């Protein structure tokens, strides 16, 4: 069997290390599933996710010039799941209430006014927490 990058194949876990699992493919070749490619969530202990001789579906990620095969279990599972997100952007009906009224200059002026008011409120709140906004020297010195 020719190992083809991007292909999803069946394999059997032949060995487990602290950095990943070795998976024997159907043609006898062995590849490595790095611990980061086992599951979507963080994997602290790979033995909690995989057992030796367990059959798994893996996606062939890469084959280097020395013939080493990189595999992924989580990417093989992703391709089975229907995508929750569409590749197309969300349709917007611009004729509805989504359209903001006013010229750019008017909208910018309103934004600047609101921003200045918020900054003033924040400064006032910050100064009141610091005790009036300045360092006061006592009369004892």
**Could you read off the pLDDT of 60-103 as tens digits, one per residue?**
999 988 989 999 999 998 756 555 555 566 666 655 555 566 78
Residue 99: both structure tokens together: 């359209």
Contacts of 36 (CB under 8 A, 6+ apart): 43
- Give 25-53 pLDDT, tens digit per residue: 988 899 999 999 999 999 999 999 999 99
- Give 104-132 pLDDT, tens digit per residue: 888 888 889 999 999 988 888 877 777 65
Phi, psi of 129 (to 5 degrees): -75, -25
Q: Which pTM value belongs to this model?
A: 0.55
The Cα–Cα gap between 90 and 81 comes to 21
The Cα–Cα gap between 53 and 55 comes to 6
Of all residues in the chain, what percent carry a pLDDT higher than 90? 48
Give mean pLDDT, residues 3-11. Answer: 90
Question: Per this entry, what is the length of the chain?
Answer: 141
The Cα–Cα gap between 34 and 47 comes to 13
Of all residues in the chain, what percent carry a pLDDT higher than 70? 74
Residue 57 near residue 76 (C-beta atoms within 8 A): yes
């Amino acid at each position: 069997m020719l190992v083809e990058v991007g292909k999803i194949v069946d394999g059997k876990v032949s060995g487990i290390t602290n950095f990943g699992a070795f998976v024997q493919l159907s043609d006898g070749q062995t590849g490595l599933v790095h611990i980061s490619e086992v599951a979507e969530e963080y994997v602290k202990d790979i033995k909690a996710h995989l057992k030796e001789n367990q059959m798994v579906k893996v996606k062939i990620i890469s084959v280097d010039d020395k013939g080493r095969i990189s595999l992924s279990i989580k990417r093989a599972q992703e391709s089975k799941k229907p995508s929750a997100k569409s590749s197309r952007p969300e349709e917007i009906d611009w004729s509805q209430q989504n359209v903001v009224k006013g010229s750019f200059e008017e909208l910018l002026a309103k934004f600047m006014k609101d921003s200045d008011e918020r900054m003033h409120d924040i400064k006032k709140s910050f100064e009141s927490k610091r005790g009036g906004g300045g360092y006061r020297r006592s009369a004892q010195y």
